[in-house]
Amino acid sequence: MGKRIFFRNKDIKRKHYERQAANRYVAKAHQNKDSVRKRHERTEETKNLHKEKVADYQEFVIEEGYKSPGYRIKPGCLAPSIVVIKDFIRSYVRTVKGTGRLSQKKTATVRTATAYAEQFFGGFEEATGSKIVPDDRSEIYSWIKKTLTEEGEVEDIKKQKFNFDRNDFTDLVASMWTRDCPIFMHGLLKVSILFALQVFLFTGARIGAFIPESKRKSQRGLRYRQWLKKNRNENYTVFGIGIRDDSRPQFASGLLLLVIALAHGAISGINSLADLAQFDLRDGRTTEIPLSWNPDALNKPVFRNVTAKGPQEVALNKERFCTLLRSLLTAAGYSKHATIHDIRRALGKKIEARHGSAPVSQIYAHRSESTYPEHYQAHCSSIDTVGDVLDEGEETYHIEYFQSYRQFREVGLPCELPAEMEVAIMKMPEIVEARDRIKQLLDNADHFGAAEEEQEYRKLYTRIQLSELHRFQHEWVQERRQRRVLNRGKDEPDWPEGNTRTRALALIMPELDHLGATLSIPKQLAFDERLLFAEQLLTQCRRDYNVIYLPGEAPTDDRKCPVHDCRKDLQSPTLTHSDRSAHIHDCTRGDIARRLHIGESDLRYCYECMTWCPQVEWRDHCSYHLQSWSDLHCEVVICRYTVIRPGYCPCCVWNQGLPADKRLKYWTSSANLRKHLEHRHIVEIKWPTIDPICGCPQTFASEQEFRYHLHDVHGLTDGIWKSRKPSLKRK
């Protein structure tokens, strides 16, 4: 080796070590971490679950006398015997017995018991370095599946797999805008959920890919910048899925993203649809408009949490999204709730039918092609065996029914328990015992213990209530379908329609009616129709839901009363939220009365068409509405501090012998409506009844049964049946 080469290599080595030192390399500094195999294959959540199981085991062996009180699990501890492990698993299944959700016996399932054992095995190995031998693991798994199942300690049952397909999606989308949801949702939140469901429908992504858990809402979630799930480098796209717009409104993903971005102010140089309409593409020289995001919007989430005051800067989290989705499914009539994974499974079925299994694994990012056929198949086979045997063309309509959630849909599904079942729950022994414990703690002045017991009581009550609600919904669906068979396909109008609030809001927000009609019919829209659809969506997104005002009664831009003679500042601290709309309504009454030269008492407001009517025309006006009256709901409807539909007396509305204005007499207070029913009707009724008394065909054996009926069918609040004061007969 020549001198030149020797000194050059020496210089290279010197620079090599200098770069190491400059970049703070320290030899042997990571020996402890690097000695752990597959350290990054388990997330922190998984490791915490493992630690919990190890802590449970340590407490178990001490409590049950397997180890001395000073025993601690630490590196070097020997693996327990198979007898101790089996006893530990038995203690777990006995601990959770009575809380199972899938099992009718409320026991643990084979799957949950096996998962508990797996978590303990992993945690014990991490904590001690001692590995439980594979033979012992296999024995435990087999013992759980066979022995514990035979003994009745666990049940071998899994949640059935159904596909939430395109037909289910369109039914849900139509229901979102035409039926009442148990939970209030801002217009922007509805549009965001619709777009999110479309994204999941077309990409097959898991829910966490776009909508993060609450603890990660500040870091994860779909952002306006280019972003992909599991991408460790945001400047490098490993693999993506492109989805396009569609002229059918139910699948217009591009249009929905445009509306959401305009509502967020995220598009650079574009603030409204009118700005886009100024582009002229008719000459053919320009065929597309390259839009870009505002720099300050790049790191902001697309799916944001939205309250009545408007959108927030934080991402919509998984817990809230799932709660909203369950409410929408219930409102749509689904007695069994679908998940995003069911949407993901449905996409895989479609892709496999058209392209085979390999593209499914590519889109799902599965490492093995066997993952989809092993874990993503519905509980019913997709093969038309009848067509194969008879050498006929494939027909899958019956398979799609058994695989989809449509079999669980019944429009009008009740979302709350009947009053009689609520009373039965309050009388259950475990509920009574829990209330007695709380009372005893309060008598002993143990307020801290009483607070903890009250929390456990609420959990117990909610768990029982949900269980009873699911059972009641199942029975209700079966009974309704049986009645439909007996009535030869005809439904009986014996349940509220479930769209009273939505119909009232459509009078205040006209775009709701059009959106509901557009999204209920899967037809392709022309350009002008799509533009109108987008404008109405954007109107919904930008509406102020802080306080809802009746038509023509919205405050001015400077938040003052619109009546010229008043101009009161509605942001005054002396006015509550409910006082704001009431103030404008009273001022409007006075202003219209002065212009008509009549007294304020001679002016009536019709909530059925949201117009003012003089008293002299009121009877004829009421008669017009009664000609097509069919709604059984009679309770006062309040939305965002404003009465949008008053309460009606069911006994008066359906009494054909009363004048029209008496039949449609209304109350804006639930307490006053209840007082009218009790003092005017219930005291006069003789029990049992012989003739119908409230527009329903059934008769009632007692006053309490009638009160239950008023709550269950006519929508009155639970105060109508919780009243403890007996109705006094008039003398």
Band (572; pLDDT cuts 50, 70, 90): confident
Is the predicted pLDDT of residue 493 greater than 70, yes or no? no
At 304 the pLDDT is 93
In degrees, rounded to 5, the angle at the alpha carbon of residue 173 between the alpha carbons of residues 359 and 379 is 50
On the CB side of 599, how many CA atoms lie within 13 Å of its CA? 3
- Which tens digit of pLDDT belongs to each residue from 339-352? 999 999 888 888 88
- Which tens digit of pLDDT belongs to each residue from 14-47? 888 888 888 888 887 777 777 666 666 677 788 8
At 366 the pLDDT is 75
Alpha helices in 487-566 (DSSP H): 500-508, 510-520, 527-542
Please state the domain extents for the chain: 2-26, 44-151, 419-487, 546-628, 635-730
At 730 the pLDDT is 43
From CA 616, how far away is CA 637, in angstroms rounded? Answer: 27
pTM of the model: 0.87
Q: Which residues pair with 560 in a beta bridge?
A: 569
Residue 178 and residue 499 in contact, taking contact as beta carbons nearer than 8 Å: yes
- Which tens digit of pLDDT belongs to each residue from 676-693? 999 999 999 999 998 889
- Which tens digit of pLDDT belongs to each residue from 364-378? 777 777 777 777 888
Band (731; pLDDT cuts 50, 70, 90): very low
- Cis amide linkage into residue 496, ω under 30° from 0: no
- Which tens digit of pLDDT belongs to each residue from 167-181? 999 999 999 999 999
**Encoding tokens for residue 282?**
């008719």
- Which tens digit of pLDDT belongs to each residue from 424-466? 999 999 999 999 999 999 999 888 999 999 999 999 999 899 9
State what percent of residues in the chain have pLDDT above 70: 93
From CA 99, how far away is CA 105, in angstroms rounded? Answer: 9
Is the predicted pLDDT of residue 65 greater than 70, yes or no? yes
More confident residue, 226 or 104: 104
**Encoding tokens for residue 2?**
């020549």
